[in-house]
Amino acid sequence: MMSSPLLFLLVILYLGTLFFVAFWAEKKKSNFWVNNPYVYSLSLAVYCSAWTYYGSIGVASNQGLEYLAVYIGPVIIIPAWIYINSKIIRISRVNKISSIADFISLRYGNRRFLGALVAGVCILAVIPYIGLQIKAISETFHLMTGSENSDNILLDNATYVVLIIAIFSAYYGTKYVDASEKRLGIISAVAFESFLKLVFFLALGVFVTYGVFNGFDDIYEQASKLPDFKQKNTLNGLEGGFNWFLMSLLSMSAIFLLPRQFHTTIVENRTEKHLKTAIWLFPLYLLLLNLFVFPIAWGGKILFLGENVNPEFYSILIPQKFGNTLIAAMVFFGGLSACISMIIISSISLSVMLSNNIIIPYGWLNSLKSETENSNNRTIVNIRKASIFSLIILGFMYMRYLISSSTLFSVGLIAFVLIAQLAPSFFGAVFWRRGSFAGAVTGIIAGILISYAYLIVPNYFEFGYQNSAFFNFFKLDYLSPVANVFFWSLLINGGLFMIISSCVAENYRARNFAELYVDINDYIQHHENAYIWKGTANISDIRRILARFLGEKKTKQALKIFNLKYNISDENDSADARFIKFSENLLSGRIGTASAKILIDGVTKEDKITLPEVLRILEESKDNISMNKQLTEHSHQLRKMSEKLQDANETLLIKDRQKDDFLDSVAHELRTPITAIRATSELLMDDEDMPTEIKKDFLENIISESDRLAEIINDILYLDKLEAGTTPLNLEHGNIVNSYHKALKPLLQLFEQKHLHHSEVNLLQEETFVYDEMKMIQVFQNILGNALKFAGDQGMIQVKFQEKDGRLKVSIFNTGKTIPDEDLEFIFEKFYQSKHQNLRKPVGSGLGLAICKRILNAHGGDIAAVNKEIGVTFELTLPNRNEII
Amino acid sequence: MKKILIADDEHKIIMTLEYAFRKAGYEVYIARDGAEVLEIIKTEIPDIILLDIMMPNVDGYTTLSEIRKDKSYENIKVVFLSAKTGEADIKKGLERGADAYVTKPYSIKKLTEKVEKLLK
């Protein structure tokens, strides 16, 4: 046992930690919290409330395997999340949907009544559920401290714990006016709690299974001797199977429809990618959480045989019985975590519905219309704060005065049945175009009435009608009361929904949204285009309304974005359908979709549209969208082509410039020998006294310079021929290594003079290839000549022959200067001169490498230069064409 | 005796210039590139330099800029001798502070006259 003040203090400390996590995550907005699929997945575990934490143990010991159905349903449907929830997330994103009430009501024509109805169903279902959490907190608090439940609520510590939670939720749940904004702080705190509750529960499980007992087998063996063991741990044939099936269906719908699940899964989803993590992590979480339910439940039964204790609290009673306060406290805090998360998220989502679907559209809209942005924001936030606070207090009252005698499990199941009444209109919204407002409303009301008459009222009050023949007429004996009511209410609800929807023609607005919901993937890009609206409206009027809620600055910004998106001039003042939808979206998060529509309707004049017209426009817009897609694709292609053209143009310009450079340097090369020849001739002619020795030298100079001239001219002509393909290759079998040696031989003396070291690496198995030997010798000499020039004294040149992928590869490496990187790919260009060479002496005429490349290309090979740490390697490749000749 | 420094990397061109200017009574110095020019003028200040533009290591433009930076060289006349004949090249050469720009191929006789005129 712990003293009451101490535990209270610990609770305060624990809540402080939560405050801190929420505050910290909100403030830092670090990527860890913001974009973390694990945080998202863990926040979904808000599904596991006190009902899971304590309730399932109670069910496992009282009813046996039934508790599993609550988890099996979700686990079965989770793989389909990728499909279903992606769709719902997309719909919600483009329509700025912030609650399940908005989600359903928008689809059926965005009428405020349906939104209010859904919100009402949620509130009716969830307030007792919140009460149930508070009951768990209160009871475990008393259990931990050994104190008695006080009749005076002011003297009950649990009251104050609830108050603190209410304040915390009201504060953090309303940080943003826009309800579709992500609540980073709260979600981080919930994820943190989910983690804690799992760890604490596992700790308890290990303690009971291995600390108190000797493992699973031991518990099983002892438990199987209990008289009711067998009966509780079988499915009870077809009847039991039927119950199971219905319970699984019930929980399957709950995982979509519970407001807290809709909120964490859809509204708080940041990216669809996170679903991929959730679909394995969440089932794993459920599995781990259920791992020890059975041992704890039956362990408790063995330990407390014959004693009058509530099995729901075995998890605290067992460690207490063995004097382990630490484990008991951990369990208490795990339970507290489960309760708090559920209370916070449920109350936030309910408050959004209460404000956006009931209070604002039915009461506050007119006053909001005439106020300023700041005061409106304040009003909206205050409404939500008050809603959260009062919802939690209501839950507390409910627990104090109505459910004190019920088990956690039954209250939870009843909430499930009520929430399940939304299933036909919810799933119909996503998958069935014909679903209509009338069908949805009738179905939901009928389902709720049945649930109340047959399940909820009998659960709390004793009236005469429960024993009447009419009441019992529908009762299927083999179904549990909950399964029975679930079956009938859903059958009638769904039936009415389908029959009425099929018979009554829907209005155009609902039909419009039906298309948008069911085919969201077609519209996701241009959803505003798919909104149908005809009438007259001025942008300036709508702008004034927007400014009342968003403020001048944000409104201006939003309009700018809109105009940019659709390429509309800023001066344009007539609003079209896209603008109407865009504006409604801007308001939706703050005041709900219905109120947004009402506000916008107030300043616009809408023309009536017939259903066939809607269908025609939709068809057109679909065509438009697909045309748009094509246009986008085409423009994309065009852009690519124009980029290519530009590239080509630039290359041409460069080539042109290179050509100029080349001609320039060729001219230079020609002018140099001509200068020498001219000057020498001049001197020879004018100077009759020139000594014979010098005269001889000068005449020799004239001859050698003339040769040089001829060589340059030959090079140019040769290159030209190679390019034109007029010099056919003389292809023959030859030994490439021998050919290399023929090229090397005349240069060897020069190598020695410069003290260059030459080495060879031969990795060839077969040295015979097919090539034009004369031309290849020319290539080798050219490369070797280059290497000789650049290698500098004491350098080295190495040649390597190898075969790679069926091609001959000859690498000639020389030490010395590397080639500037920007020149590497151009040095083989015919008209290329390195930019530095324009000032410094060009090495050769700049034709040698171009000639080499043409020769190798003519062979079907190639040449490339690669810079190495201490020099350059020229890599020559030739195809192995042994087999061709 | 007037001192002339000839800077060119073409051996055969140097031979002719050296012969012609010796004959005309100049004291001739030879440089193979810009670096050698800058080295030589540290000890022997010539009256005139015939400077090629495209040379290994240090090109003619850079050499001239270096010369023009130093006050003690302000009396040296510089003539560019270049196979670069574009208008832009000539303009660039003169802007750098050359006293004349002679394009290759040139007449030795005319070149000698030009040099003498510059040194008067």
A703 → chain B, closest CA residue: B12
Contacts of B106 in chain A (CB under 8 A): 675, 678-679
For chain A positions 627-686, those within 8 Å of chain B (CB to CB) are 664, 667-668, 671-680, 682-683, 686
Question: Which of B16, B53, B61 has the CB atom closest to A679's CB atom?
Answer: B16
Contacts of B12 in chain A (CB under 8 A): 673, 676, 680, 701, 704-705
Nearest alpha-carbon partner for A183 in A47, A49, A44, A34: A34
| Contact across the interface for A672 and B85, Cβ inside 8 Å | no
Question: Which of B12, B86, B107 has the CB atom closest to A682's CB atom?
Answer: B107
Q: Is A287 exposed, middle or buried (0-12, 13-18, 19+ CB in 10 A)?
A: exposed
pLDDT tens profile A852-866: 998 998 888 999 999
pLDDT of residue A739: 94
Contacts of B85 in chain A (CB under 8 A): 667, 671
Question: Which of B20, B61, B106 has the CB atom closest to A683's CB atom?
Answer: B20
B108 → chain A, closest CA residue: A679
pLDDT of residue A407: 60
Q: What is the dihedral of CA A589, A595, A600, A605, to 10 degrees?
A: 150
pLDDT of residue A403: 66
| Contact across the interface for B105 and A841, Cβ inside 8 Å | no
SS3 assignment, position A462: coil
What is the DSSP pairing of strand B3-7 with strand A871-879? unpaired
Question: CA A74, CA A45: separation in Å to the nearest integer?
Answer: 11
Distance from CA of B55 to the nearest CA of A (A): 5
Distance from CA of B47 to the nearest CA of A (A): 23
Question: CA A354, CA A336: separation in Å to the nearest integer?
Answer: 26
- Whether the bond between B105 and the residue before it is cis, its omega within 30 degrees of 0, is yes
| Contact across the interface for A667 and B83, Cβ inside 8 Å | yes
pLDDT tens profile B41-58: 999 999 999 999 888 778
SS3 assignment, position A771: strand
pLDDT of residue A882: 58
Distance from CA of A699 to the nearest CA of B (A): 11
Sequence-distant (6+) residues with CB within 8 A of A501 are A428, A432, A434, A435, A436, A438, A439, A440
Contacts of A687 in chain B (CB under 8 A): 23
| Contact across the interface for B56 and A840, Cβ inside 8 Å | yes
Measured in whole angstroms, the distance separating CA A212 from the mean position of its chain's CA atoms is 45
Contacts of A701 in chain B (CB under 8 A): 12, 15
Q: Tell me which residue has tokens 């008695």.
A: A148
Name the residue type at position A539. I
What is the DSSP pairing of strand A862-868 with strand A796-804? unpaired
Structure tokens at B51: 């400077």
For chain A positions 570-609, those within 8 Å of chain B (CB to CB) are none
In sequence order, what are the beta bridge partners of A604? A537
Nearest alpha-carbon partner for A517 in A527, A507, A526: A527
Question: Which of B17, B55, B61 has the CB atom closest to A841's CB atom?
Answer: B55
Q: Is A470 exposed, middle or buried (0-12, 13-18, 19+ CB in 10 A)?
A: exposed
Sequence-distant (6+) residues with CB within 8 A of B12 are A673, A676, A680, A701, A704, A705
Nearest alpha-carbon partner for A263 in A43, A431, A72, A430: A43
Question: CA A437, CA A603: separation in Å to the nearest integer?
Answer: 25
Helical spans, DSSP H, in A207-324? 215-223, 229-232, 237-257, 259-262, 273-290, 293-303, 314-321
pLDDT of residue A535: 80
Structure tokens at A53: 């934490």
Q: What is the dihedral of CA A327, A333, A339, A340, to 10 degrees?
A: -170
Question: Which of A675, A704, A838 has the CB atom closest to B105's CB atom?
Answer: A675
pLDDT of residue A162: 82
Work out the mean pLDDT of chain B and round it to a whole number.
90
Measured in whole angstroms, the distance separating CA A717 from the mean position of its chain's CA atoms is 63
Question: Which of A667, A686, A705 has the CB atom closest to B12's CB atom?
Answer: A705
Contacts of B23 in chain A (CB under 8 A): 687
| Contact across the interface for A675 and B13, Cβ inside 8 Å | yes
In sequence order, what are the beta bridge partners of A768? A735
| Contact across the interface for A664 and B106, Cβ inside 8 Å | no
Question: Which of B9, B19, B55 has the CB atom closest to A683's CB atom?
Answer: B19
DSSP secondary structure code for residue A465 in this structure: G
Question: CA A52, CA B104: separation in Å to the nearest integer?
Answer: 99
pTM: 0.63
Low-confidence ranges of chain A (pLDDT < 50): 831, 833-843, 885
